[in-house]
Structures are given as C-alpha cells and as structure tokens.
Amino acid sequence: MKKTVLMLAMLFAFSTAFTSCREDKKVEIDVEEAENDVEQGLENAGDAMENAAQETGNAIENAAEETGDAIENAAQEVEDEIEGNDDM
C-alpha cells in the first residue's frame, strides 16, 4: 500500500512537471487577435477623426459663404435704402 501511494505521488509530481513545461499556443493566438483588434480599432478611430475634420471644414466653409451672402444682402439693402430703391 505504501509503495502504491508513493508511486502515485511520484506520478503526480512528474505529470505536473511535464504539464507546466509545455507551450501554450492559445496565449499566442489570443495575443495576435488582441493585436489585430487594437490595430483595427486605431484604424477606425483614425478614419473617424478624418471624417470629423472633413465635416468640420465643410461646415466652416458653408458658414463663411452664408455670412458673406448675408453681408452682401445687408449692404444691398442699405444701398437701396440710401438710393431710394426700396421695394416697400
């Protein structure tokens, strides 16, 4: 009985030693997946920033054009008022 218990203890010790020394490929796969996910996330963030910058630029251009048109219309109204060409 004593030999059986010692034999099982030695078998357990060897099995844990060999099990802990083998490589874990799952970890490598997870690291690669995480790297790809981060890379894709950064690319998406870059695209979103580029789109936001483009939309902001377009909004600024439109606002500038509308402001210019409003100034021209106001100047024309003042000129018409001064010259007496009032539509009212």
Residue 17's pLDDT is 63
Judged against a pLDDT cut of 80, whether residue 23 lies above it is answered with no
Residue 52's pLDDT is 93
**Residue ranges of domains in the chain:** 45-82
What pLDDT digit, counting tens, does each position of 71-85 carry?
999 999 998 888 877
For range 21-38, the mean pLDDT: 74
Mean pLDDT comparison of 25-29, 39-43, 65-69, highest-scoring range: 65-69
Instruction: Determine if the pTM surpasses 0.75.
Output: no
CB 64 within 8 A of CB 71: no
